[in-house]
Structure 1
Amino acid sequence: MLCEICKDEGFLAQRAEPATLEDLQTAADLLETLEYHKDRCVGMAANMIGVNKRMIAFDNEGAYMVMFNPEIIKKSEPYEAEEGCLSLNGTRKTKRWKSIKVRWQNEQFQERRKTFTGWTAQIIQHEIDHCEGILI
């Protein structure tokens, strides 16, 4: 189901609750909403569609990917970035890392780990910030 984009900064500033198997429909809604906004959006967190669960969806080099309960477990090479967000107006400066190692669960809730770099790493960091209640 296509969802409205949440712009309530009070809601967006909350830390997300862990995602569970009961949240698979939210993942489908997140993907559908991301696809709808693909012309101006490369990633979304569940709180952007009004669901306070630790879940993100993003463009992983041309294919959409969902992560349940993602967390960055290693990072290197900091840099300054300027980002926008569908939930916020304008762009803002923020610190990002060129390389990150992420631990998450897939749709079957099996644990996965992978290192991401460059643009994909930046997208993931932005969406994980949403899960932490951090607004750029």
Structure 2
Amino acid sequence: MIKPIEKDQLFLQQKAKPATPADRPVMQDLEDTLAANATRCVGMAANMIGVAKRIIIVQMGPLPVVMVNPQITAKSGQYQTTEGCLSLDGERPATRFEQITVQFQDTQFKPHTQEFTGFVAQIIQHEVAHCEGVLI
């Protein structure tokens, strides 16, 4: 189901709780909401649709990938950039890393560890920051 975008900064600054199999409907809501906003968005965190759980979705080429309980475990190649967010007006400066390693679970709660670089790494960092209650 397509959900409205959360704009309440006090809510968005709350740290998300770990996701469980009971949160599977949230994963579908994230997929539907990202698809509905595809012309202006490449990733979302569950708190952006009003659910304080550690679930993100990232557009990786043609495929939207859901990551459950993501944790960035390594990072290198720090750089400065500016980013926008559906939950916030305008663009803001952000510190990101060119390469990251992420531990996460897929939608079946199978664990994965994967390295990401470039723009996909930047999207993941932005969405994981949402899970931590950090706004750009």
The TM-score by the shorter chain falls in which range? over 0.9
Q: What letter corresponds to residue 80 of structure 2 in structure 1?
A: E
4+ runs of 1 displaced by more than 2 Å? none
- Where 2:90 maps in the other structure, the secondary structure is strand
> SS at the partner of 1:40?
coil
Find the residue that maps to 2:23 and give its secondary structure.
helix
Partner of 1:99: 99
Structure 2: distance between partners of 1:104 and 1:29? 19
- One-letter identity of the residue aligned with 2:96: R
| Alpha-carbon shift at residue 61 of structure 1 (Å) | 2.2
2:30 match: 30
Provide the rounded CA distance (Å) in 2 between the counterparts of 1:49 and 1:75: 27
Instruction: Report the residue type matching 2:4 in the other structure.
Output: E
SS in structure 2 of the partner of residue 27 of structure 1? helix
Please report how far the alpha carbon of residue 60 of structure 1 lies from its aligned counterpart in structure 2 after TM superposition: 1.1
Q: Percent identity?
A: 51
Cα distance per residue 1:29-85 (max 9 Å; x no partner) = 011000000000000000000000000001012210000000000000000010000
Q: Which runs of 5+ in 1 are unaligned?
A: none
**Matched-pair contact (CA < 8 Å) for 1:61–1:120:** no
Q: What is the distance in 1 between the residues matched to 2:61 and 2:124?
A: 12
Structure 2, unpaired ranges of 5+: none
1:10-36 CA deviation, whole Å, 9 max, x = no partner? 000000000000000000001100000
CA RMSD of aligned residues (A): 0.4
Aligned residues: 136
Paired position in structure 1 for 2:81: 81
- TM-score normalised by the chain length of structure 1: 0.99
SS in 1 for 2:48: helix
Counterpart of 1:89 in 2: which secondary structure?
strand
